[in-house]
Each structure stands twice: as C-alpha cells, then as structure tokens.
Structure 1
Amino acid sequence: MRGMTEQPERWTQASVHPDMWADPADDPRNSEGPSPDGELATLEDYLANYRLTMRMKCEGLDAGQLARRSVPPSTMSLLGLVRHLAEVERDWRNWITDGEPLPKLYGARDADFDGAVADAAVVEAAWRDLAREQAATDAVLAEHPDLGERLGKDGVSVRELLVHRIEEYARHCGHADLLRECVDGRVGQ
C-alpha cells in the first residue's frame, strides 16, 4: 500500500484527448446523432449517462482499491459511493410512496460508507443492491410519466425527483473522479 505522500502517476486510456476517460469512439456514453426528444427522455438520458459514468470510474479495480478511503479523514470510497447510491435510490422511493418507509439497506447513518470494506462479496452485493434499487425506483417512476405529477406524503413532483437524482449522481461522479485518481492515477471526464 502506498503512503499518503506518494501519488500515483496520472494516466488515461484516451489517445485523442488526454483529459478524457476514453477515446470518443470507445466511450459508451458518446452517442452520435440527435439528442432525445422531450423533457422526460432528456432527463432519463442524463441519469443513464451519470449511472454509466459511476460504473466506468469503478471498472478495473479490485475490492481493496474500491474500498480505499483515498482522501482522509473522509470515509468516502468508490465502493462507499456505490453503496450510498443504492441507499439513496431506496430512500427516493420512500419520498414518493404513501406507505411505510422501506428500511435502510445498510443500517445506521453512514453505514453505507463505513461498511464498504475490501471484500469481493461486499463489492458484488453493492453492485447487485444498486441495480435492484435503481430498477425499483425506475419502475415506480415509469408509472408516472407526467413530470408535474406530485407523489407521496410531501407531494414531490416527478420532475423534482428526476432532477434530484441527476444532481446526486453528477455530484458523486465528481467525487469518483478524484477518488479514482487517488487510487491509481487514472484521469478523465
């Protein structure tokens, strides 16, 4: 394990633009052609791209690297971010339902980050949890295509929830940029 003062050499897989994660032809987020039609399709496209970005920032790392808390004293790690996003997807469903809230996935406050340990089973479970929670929230929202519709006890609009989801993923993708660079030096958008 490298010491706190040692920094990995910066690198990228891109050869066209040195500040990119991958060359445009190899970037699965790079879609040629027209942008989606309509507000809902545009919001869903942004959300899908940020979700994919988070996955890309974690690719190629082992459990130890994913669990590394690269910026002490923060407890944040790439694995912790994956677990946190699973937790917030579940919580967003609590915002828009009238029933009893679903329990937290990982327990007490900050357990999503505190439980992000260097164990392959924990990593696999985190990705399964995230996929399941994303699909469940997506399914609930698919039943409400009117962006102005208000849901749940607090009357949260579908639009507000979608924008908040995009904001959450975008913010954490920024964290993932920095965490990944600290882990192995890889840079890029």
Structure 2
Amino acid sequence: MNSESDTPERWSEASVYPDMWADPDKDPRNSEGPGPEGELATFQDFLSGYRLTLRMKCEGLDPEQMARRSVPPSTMSLLGLVRHLAEVERDWRGWIPPGDPEPTLYGDADGDFEGAVAQQTLVDSAFADLAREQAATDAALLAWPDLGARVIRDETAVRELWVHRIEEYARHCGHADLLRECVDGRVGQ
C-alpha cells in the first residue's frame, strides 16, 4: 500500500515489460506456432483465452479481495464478474430452442453482483457455476456445426452467439484488470 493513501502501489510479476501481467514466455495464454484453422476454432481459441484471463485476474485473492467493490456506487467486484459471466452463459444458452430458458442463478437483475459477498463457499460455488455453465453452453452451441444456422430465438445465427460471448468476456476482462489493480496494485495488460 502507498503510505499516503489506501491505494495499492502498482506492481507486476513481469520483468521484461513492467506493465504486463506476466513475462510473455511465462504467460499461459501465449502459444507457439500458427493460430487455429477455421472460424469455429478461432472463436473457441479467443473465448478460451478470455476465460483464462479472467481466472488469472482472480488468482491468489482471498474472499474479501474477490468481493471488494470498485468505486461506489458500482456493485462491480471480481467475484461479481465471475457470477455475472455464469449468469450470461446460462442466459445465452436460453436463446437456443427448444424449451424455456432456465431460471437465473442468482435471482434478481443485479443479484450476481449484489450477492457477491466475502465467503469462501460463495467464491468456490461461483467458479463451479461458471465452469458448469460454460461447458453447457459450449455443448449446446457445438450441436450446431453450421455457424450460419439461424437457431436462436430471434433468428440470430449461431456464429453471432459465439461472437457475443467473446465480446462479453473481453469487456469484463478489461473490468477485471482495473478491479485487480484496485485490490492489490497488480497491473493488467
């Protein structure tokens, strides 16, 4: 912490680039060789990278740090983001017929963020919820190999649902960078 305030000092585990999360040769998101072949493989690769980024931003934090709110009146926290993304995965899956959408995981409209309190059981269950919902939505979309198929309730193509999910994670990984830096000063990239 900075002695003049409660603001943490900025830091990084990277030694090559001091504004990066990790050195490029130690970053698990970096891979050798060419990128994936094909549209679906590209979507899956980007989504996997953002999912890993979110987990990395939460690593090493205790329940209080995970539940710490950013700036009032915002309800945003890292734990809230994990819960929100589990809810989003379930919600997007609900757009794929047949059947009715499943009930929300956390209740009211802002329940994913409002209910994000500093309890280890809540942190553990949020990550379990996220993993389960990710797997279920991945499986539901993989049942439609034609990415141009218009199977979504409002006649949206399957590819658009993949892109929406990538966009959702990308946006919230930006939030996670800022939230983590507020918690302990560790910078994102």
Question: CA shift at 1:41, angstroms?
Answer: 0.6
Distance in 2, Cα, partners of 1:180 & 1:62: 12
Q: Pairwise mapping of residues 33-52 of structure 1 onto structure 2 (< 5 A)?
A: 33-52=33-52
Structure 1 residues 85-96: aligned runs within 5 Å: 85-96=85-96
Question: Residue 80 of structure 1 aligns with which residue?
Answer: 80
- Structure 1 residue runs of 4 or more that deviate by more than 4 Å after TM superposition: none
Taking structure 1 as the reference length, what is the TM-score of the superposition? 0.96
Q: Secondary structure of the residue that 1:109 maps to in structure 2?
A: coil
2:104 aligned residue: 104
* Alignment partners' CA distance in 1, 2:16 and 2:151: 46
CA offsets 1:21-66 (integer angstroms, 9 cap, x no match)? 0111211100111000111111110000000000000000000000
2:130 aligned with 1:130, yes or no? yes
1:142: which partner in 2? 142
Does the 8 A contact of 2:152 with 2:158 survive in 1?
Answer: no
For normalisation by structure 2, the TM-score amounts to 0.96
Q: Is the 8 A contact 2:12 2:19 kept in 1?
A: yes
Q: Deviations over 1:142-177 (max 9, x none)?
A: 111211011132122111000000000000000000
Provide the secondary structure at the position in 2 that maps to 1:29: coil
Decide whether the 8 Å contact of 1:149 with 1:158 is kept in 2.
yes
Displacement of 1:6 in angstroms is 2.1
Q: Which amino acid aligns with 1:50?
A: Y
Aligned residues with identical type, % of pairs:
73
1:29 alignment counterpart: 29
Distance in 1, matches of 2:153 and 2:165, equals 19
